[in-house]
Structure 1
């Protein structure tokens, strides 16, 4: 009881004489209308990554009917290690998946900088070993855990993509590359840096994606770790970095190098990616030649530009964006953690304002931008620290790491 005769704390203190029945009927009608709007609200999510799977879970928990469409044939299984920390760790605890996230942890405790002979020249202890409040794990493992959490509550359409969107005041008509056309109350683009939803609704990618002067690649590197598996190894030459990180099974090689924007770059052209990597690291030492041989032979190479996404607004009508599609912070800005936190915020706002999508989407954006903007500003600092452009910069970075 709240001391005013209302066990839930939401009732009226008093009701004017003669209006009790009218007020009760009005409240019942309002509640019925809201429940009807909520139960009939359908949401399409484009993109089955970390943001999309987290959002599917939370929207379904709030009673909405959710469909997720993903271009790939299954949940992505590759990618560099990512952190779950801060608000994302709290979201994972509420989802009941933090136990599985900890089990998939890489167990990494430090970052060791090595020279061309493999000798350690500096080391940084990572905070996760001390705090227990953040976990590093392979991106593919995190995606699989989040997919498993929500797959029974949402409809998943793999090996398909959105081909067209047309919206009016009451919904969005969606055509797919494979599936039959359907209508939804809300569409959310969680389809990454090269978002199809953003292109269809907001305009060409060139208007919103800012190249940060870097390209990055990851590939499995099983057998490449012969040292203590609690450390990541990083080797630098001016404008280039290579790391080998432990994964739950095997290891991952990660390349990041400075380069002007490639005019004819195609993020789906693996042959081009292999040529760009081979050219960038042709004269690199340490174990780079061995890792490049793995790149040439692999079918599991992720390669893309390091970029940020900046939009004046993340929503247009009944279409909104989340994660990298809305606000990619680049490699150095906690993108996975921000995606999980943003998904939870978006779902809560949609649930709190049934049938009022404009209010819900505005509230989501106002709240989540407070987390995103500082991380976008920090990204350039992270890039300078991990990929110094000069030999002098590498020496200064190593000295700072020792201190």
Structure 2
């Protein structure tokens, strides 16, 4: 072969190497700017893995701005969380610079302005989808009460025509294209009306690219898959066989399923697949390892990890371990939870008997509104505390809280001796019923 041939091959290889290196080292900037005087100083940046927020970094404000250079490639949903005001801001990355401005009043965000092209388009698309889901059904109903020839009816026809039209062209945005196409197919309608078969969902989950994990679509698609299954266990087995539990995708799906079963109190299925996760002989990805660890931390017989109180009421104790009792009932609740509203007041007639047996109740609230929390916490005679961060509260993840109310019963050494489902089970376990 000629020297010229080898020269061309070498040159091509160098070009390809340079192109691949550029891709692997891709970086983009994230910039969030607020008005002068916006009180919060710190922001947490997260990427997405299935239904989980994955912490990337914590940033401090400099000249009313938070700025970060993402060290590699990322296409998908992201979140900025301001812990001082319990405010979350969602945006996307298309491997391009992100630029967001906040219109603020004091410590309150009044408007989010997306400056970069990708987030402008995503905001437009999501606004269009929201209008389709909320306004369009109302317009159809209202049309029945007006004559077709009336000016108002014709105006509604015009708006219906707009909302039933096509979405803006997003073909130049890979992530937005992926998100909108699959959202429309799998989640745009109720699962019973979508026309998507179980095999199509399995195909989508098992063969989709890595944007499935970063899109937030995985959890709701799995929930729809389970809700339309004739036999849940058979459906799960078919899915897990297709995704292969020795792959990162398979392990993330397994992690999501365990958490879904936990949320809906499907205890037998949760325990079965948690055991299957623990018995895997291959390398476990971070997502599944986290699910296993969190569940082990709150298993029967485990020592309940200590929690340092924020601003507790009805106690001088500074932490959970400083509350001395022969038994403790830990209750995760919220003032806006209807089941809590029904169950928690039923403790009150038994509370004096509990105190006589040296049993204490410790409530940890997932509230966000202080006035709403105070109205309930001050009414209940037992210990209560809250971070006023809702599901962003540190104890939600720490203690594997998937719903409210959630109960744990601890012995005097803070070991978990029971995990009752309802207040009747709590009282029976304590010998009060």
Q: TM-score, normalised by structure 2?
A: 0.28
Q: TM-score, normalised by structure 1?
A: 0.29
Larger relative strand fraction: 1
Larger Rg: 2
Q: RCO higher in 1 or 2 (8 Å CA, sep ≥ 6)?
A: 1
